[in-house]
Amino acid sequence: MVPNFSACRSKVERNDCGQDGSILIAASVFLLVGVILLGSIQVGYMYYTKRELQKTADLAALTGVQSLWQGPDAAKTAAEKVAAQNFGGASVDAEPGNWTDGKFDSSLSPQNALQVAVSAPLSPIVPFFEIGSISAQAQAVTNPVAQFSVASRLLSFDSSGLLGQLLKKVGVTDADLKILDSAGLATVGIRPINLLNNPKLDIPLSVFSNVASPEALAQNTTVQLGTLLDVAADVVSRASPNVASNLLTAITDLSQVLGPSTPIPLFGTHGVLSIVQGTDPSAALSTEVNALEFVAATAIAATIANGSNSIDLNAGVPGLVGNLVSAKIVEPPSLAIGGTGSQATNSQVQLALSLGSISISVLGLGVKLSPLALQINLANSTGTLTKVCQPDSGLGVNQAEITVQSSSGEICLNTNDGCASSTYSPVAEVDAPLLGKVATVSASVEASIASTGPNPVVATVGQSVTSSPVDVDLLGTAFGNLLGNIKITALGGLLSVDTSVLSAALSPLLSAALQPVGKALGTALSALGLDVDQTDVLLSSVQCASPRLVQ
């Protein structure tokens, strides 16, 4: 007998049977859709948690690295605290290290970066959908930065200083100089990035895309004086809303007198601001620059560019006739901005000195020192930031160590060829009783102004400190050594003279006659803000925390 597999014999029964099957199919579809929706929610929740965890890692790294200058333990504690506040139950692993050339290494020094790994368990929304934990990692770097200058006395609008006298020569009034030299500018900080971002300067966008390159900054940031000072005045007024209106007017007057169209390089070899290779330009551009020093350095650069960079001075050297002195700034100063390794240089100053004749007596003979026209190239001082934000070195949060090096200057005969050690020039005539002129003394007119350093000094924000504050009188010593390799010609060479004896007697006497000249000239230059024997350093700002994410 064949069994009947049809369970639905009638038409009604067949319809009921079909409905049972469709319900089963619909339930299966709804179940599948539900699983997909729950899975999507789980995945979405996973990405949401990952994003929140990444935010926590980023914030923990940025916060922790700001405390890195206080030590690795302080950085770890700060990172863990922030992570706990933003993502409860998360585990944190903070590791300090060094970030160089795009790589993090926990074994290298100095420690300028912090790597933070944050992980947390992920609760499943879909049953039996086990995920475990989820993690995120962030790396932040900080480059403590400072702004400082060397030979900062030149960066003053004092009417008795060299810059003040140069500016008065071209028409800047005493009233404007007094306003510019007031505390109004000295208490305001200018961030270079705010200058560059101002549309008035019309800085190419390529500069910002290549901000990591000091070369890009140097090549694309030469601007007109008028526009630069206008932007600087705007930044000053925003930074200090209570600044006096007459100060902003004085800045405008300065621009008009020096020539609004005068080109001013902001960065580079002859730039007002110095960012050296190897420092972080992004951090440097966020460093606060003393507004007074910035405007003064800009004014010096303008005087060089438009040829108003020299002035005649009265040295007031006693005992000489016709002691004429002129001072000329041949290179502008550079203000250092950035981290360790940043360098500041002083203004390069060249003097022209015309010495009148002077008479002395030696061995019964009259010796008359001939008039000399001398060129004096004052030594160049460079300050290098060697330590900043290092409490383990005994430095406070507002202190930095700056090493000052002064290169050798020179004094020589002022000729078209400049200083040449092989040049011999007539320097004196020797007269004998009844015979008159018996000999001519020639000498190589050259001497070096000794270099000093390297001398590390600890500077505090807002206070000037002197490098090698010792009474050496380098300029006086150099003048005492000015006449070397003496040659004596007697009676046109017709009469033999014991030159060794006469030279041995002449050299110390001529040196003694010239040494007071150098000493008096050094005193006169010091009154102008030019210290030959020592270098003053002014630290304007320190920022220990300049954090940024690098990964």
* pLDDT, tens only, 428-443: 777 777 666 777 777 7
What's the pLDDT at 320? 42
- What is the SS3 assignment for 530? coil
β-strands 436-449, 409-413: how paired?
antiparallel
For residue 212, pLDDT over 60 is answered with: no
Asked if residue 53 lies in contact with residue 87, where contact means CB atoms within 8 angstroms, the answer is: yes
**Residue 53 one-letter amino acid:** L
How large a percentage of the chain has pLDDT more than 70? 77
Name the residue among 407, 145, 408 with its Cα closest to residue 274: 145
Instruction: Put residue 187 in one of left, alpha, beta given phi > 0 → left and psi -120 to 50 → alpha.
Output: alpha
With residues binned 3-state (H G I as helix, E B as strand, rest as coil), the percentages for the chain, rounded to 5, are 40, 30, 30
Give the model's confidence band at 322: pLDDT under 50 very low, under 70 low, under 90 confident, else very high: low
What's the pLDDT at 205? 62
Give ranges for CATH 3.30.1300 in the chain: 26-140
For residue 83, pLDDT over 70 is answered with: yes
Name the residue among 16, 524, 500 with its Cα closest to residue 317: 524
Average pLDDT over the chain, rounded to an integer: 78
Give the model's confidence band at 402: pLDDT under 50 very low, under 70 low, under 90 confident, else very high: very high
Q: Quick one: tokens of 221? A: 């940031």
pLDDT tens-place string over residues 264-297: 888 877 888 888 776 677 778 888 888 889 999 9
Give the model's confidence band at 211: pLDDT under 50 very low, under 70 low, under 90 confident, else very high: low
Mean pLDDT of 476-500: 64
What's the pLDDT at 131? 66
What's the pLDDT at 314? 62
- Beta pairing partners, 141: 113, 548
CA distances from 456 to 149, 402, 444, 474 (A): 14, 6, 36, 20
Give the model's confidence band at 302: pLDDT under 50 very low, under 70 low, under 90 confident, else very high: very high
How large a percentage of the chain has pLDDT more than 90? 8
* Higher-confidence position of 81 and 206: 81
Mean pLDDT of 164-169: 89
β-strands 289-290, 381-388: how paired?
unpaired
Only one residue has tokens 């209106």, namely 245
Considering the segment(s) 26-140 as one domain, its CATH architecture is 2-Layer Sandwich (3.30)
Mean pLDDT of 21-43: 73
What's the pLDDT at 448? 78
For residue 303, pLDDT over 70 is answered with: yes
Mean pLDDT of 141-145: 84
Give the model's confidence band at 352: pLDDT under 50 very low, under 70 low, under 90 confident, else very high: confident
Asked if residue 551 lies in contact with residue 139, where contact means CB atoms within 8 angstroms, the answer is: yes
Ranges 262-271, 394-403, 429-438, 485-494: which has the least confidence = 485-494
What's the pLDDT at 299? 92
Report if pTM > 0.85.
no
Ranges 122-131, 190-199, 497-506: which has the least confidence = 497-506
For residue 321, pLDDT over 50 is answered with: no
Asked if residue 522 lies in contact with residue 473, where contact means CB atoms within 8 angstroms, the answer is: yes
Instruction: Put residue 389 in one of left, alpha, beta given phi > 0 → left and psi -120 to 50 → alpha.
Output: left
Query: How many Cβ atoms from other residues are within 10 Å of residue 120's Cβ?
Result: 21
* Higher-confidence position of 230 and 372: 230
- Beta pairing partners, 100: 103
**Residue 228 one-letter amino acid:** L
Name the residue among 208, 346, 202 with its Cα closest to residue 274: 346
What's the pLDDT at 5? 47
